[in-house]
Amino acid sequence: MMKLRHYQQGFKDGILNAWDEGYRSVLGVLPTGGGKTITFASIVADHKGAAVIVVHRKEILSQISQALALASEDLAAAGKMHRVVAPAKTIAMIRRKHLEKFGKCFIDPQAQTGVASVQTLTSAATGKDHRLQAWLAQVTLAVFDEGHHYVASGFWAKAVDMFSRAKLLFVTATPERADGTGLGIDNGGFAEVMIEGPTPRQLMDWGHLCKYDYFCPESDCDFSSVAVTAKGDFNAQAMRSRVVDSHLVGDIVRDYLRFAKGTQAICFMPDTCTADEMAAEFNASGVKAVSLNAKTDDGDRERSLQAFERGEIQVLVNVDLFDEGFDVPAATTCIMGRPTMSLAKYMQMVGRVLRTAKGKDKAIVIDPVRNWERHGQVTWPRVWSLKGKTKSDRENSDKVPQKVCTTCSQPYEAFRLECPYCGAVPIPPERKTPEQVDGDLTALDLDALDAMFAARDKANQDDNDFAAGLYAKNVPQIGHSSQIKRFRATKYRREVLRNLIGWWVGCQPADRPRAEIQKRFFLRFGVDMLTAETLGLQETDDLVEKIAAKFDKDVVAH
């Protein structure tokens, strides 16, 4: 029996407790590489009665089956075998794997416990198979791997509805869907309660996940205006056209040689055409690579993975193959040539290389398609909810703006005055507008700063001067009094704003440099501190409200 790590045991206990408390349907969250499979295999192995593990694609059946074999190894004598619901050819392949790995086979077509792919489970053939149906009807525990796929409407729901008498467990690393649908039972999903394991950051601190270096090299491939489908991710055809118009493929080889030369790498590409070109480009540069996708023949894929494991192939280029659940041999480097709007996909891509291995010191992530801008770092604290997210939730999230160091290509929080990795101080070539210096007024050139001060003074001039200005501009007398009234009102609101800004600044830590405070203000509120005092009436009120709303958060957090 595989021994669970302390946090896996805690995670398992949390799930068992939830069922004990009377919940039927549990969502379990554990980061990629945290050992989800081992943990739920252990739950299934302990279960008395029929149980099934449902996987979302057939490529994963084999590794789940092996995990079940490991979880039940010493119980085998007592007959704790499992069945695999899949086409005969797939079962034969899995039997072979068992024999290779364990010297015996743990598959028994009559077993109480089983693993099935959602496609086979919901197929017409399965519906007509009476023996299979009899077993399915007995199932009292159903586990759904990659549980974020299962929502109440559509194809996936069918697989859940088959087990109306069973306890349900959905496991995932990212309980959030690109389409915003919630996984909670009241929000379009199935789960009644969520049990969270440790975060990626904790797993890294405890040494169970690898730390990593993250590089965002420049590429001319621009995905910013690519259409997003109803599922919430980029349109594949449109991604392809952007790649064709760019130098992404060549850039990636250059980046690999610069940041990760000699390491074993997994490279994600948006489509098979681009993936094939990518592999060819690597090979032409003397880096042995192959291109794989879901349609690649099982045998070919297996041979490629083994060659990769032996170090004969250095780069595995793939399309939507290694991003979910599919275990690949230890790789050090993740290259993202595929942009994604899906947080789950992003976390999985990076997660592929975060597994620890002997002699592996750090993982490397290369992101020329700017996924970091869409999702932030894997280690960022995230608040999960069963409720799902609306579009505006996602847009208004409290993400800290990031920038990429022009010296070492690593991303960091934009309010920092220098790169935390290499110490380089970003000096924009132009320092004429606050935008060019992220609101850091001390970095502006003097002419620009003078002009801004002049604008501020003018906006806040004496009422009499303002009136005199109206005469000078030949404004008809009849409009004067209303204009002066409005000018006074605006000035009064600016006074309120100025006090609020002063309060906000005063609450910053004493050792925080002024320039950083100005940058934080600019990045947080979208305007620099000087320009803020020149805004019109409505804009001033809006800003007052915005600062007041963020105030508690900014003072408490950093």
Residues that bind Zn ion (CB under 5 A): 405, 407-408, 419, 421-422, 424
Rounded to an integer, what distance in angstroms lies between the CA atom of residue 525 and that of residue 535? Answer: 13
Sheet with 363-366, side-by-side order of all strands: 212-215, 363-366, 333-336, 265-268, 315-319, 289-293
The residue (of 121 and 405) whose beta carbon lies closer to Zn ion is 405
The residue (of 364 and 500) whose beta carbon lies closer to Zn ion is 364
Contact 558, 398 (CB under 8 A): no
CB of 486 to Zn ion, least distance (A): 48
Rounded to an integer, what distance in angstroms lies between the CA atom of residue 295 and that of residue 108? Answer: 28
CB of 377 to Zn ion, least distance (A): 15
**Backbone torsions φ then ψ of 84, nearest 5 degrees:** -120, 120
Rounded to an integer, what distance in angstroms lies between the CA atom of residue 422 and that of residue 315? Answer: 28
> Cα separations (Å) of 114 from 44, 61, 84, 142?
9, 10, 6, 10
Least Cα distance to 326 among 304, 358, 359 occurs for 304
CB of 318 to Zn ion, least distance (A): 30
The residue (of 231 and 362) whose beta carbon lies closer to Zn ion is 362
Rounded to an integer, what distance in angstroms lies between the CA atom of residue 171 and that of residue 153? Answer: 19
The residue (of 211 and 240) whose beta carbon lies closer to Zn ion is 211
The residue (of 425 and 496) whose beta carbon lies closer to Zn ion is 425
The residue (of 420 and 536) whose beta carbon lies closer to Zn ion is 420
Rounded to an integer, what distance in angstroms lies between the CA atom of residue 547 and that of residue 521? Answer: 9
**Using CA atoms in the order 481, 484, 485, 490, what is the torsion angle rounded to 10 degrees?**
160
Sheet with 167-172, side-by-side order of all strands: 82-85, 113-117, 51-55, 141-144, 167-172, 25-29, 193-196
CB of 351 to Zn ion, least distance (A): 25
Strand, coil or helix: what is 182?
coil
The residue (of 422 and 496) whose beta carbon lies closer to Zn ion is 422
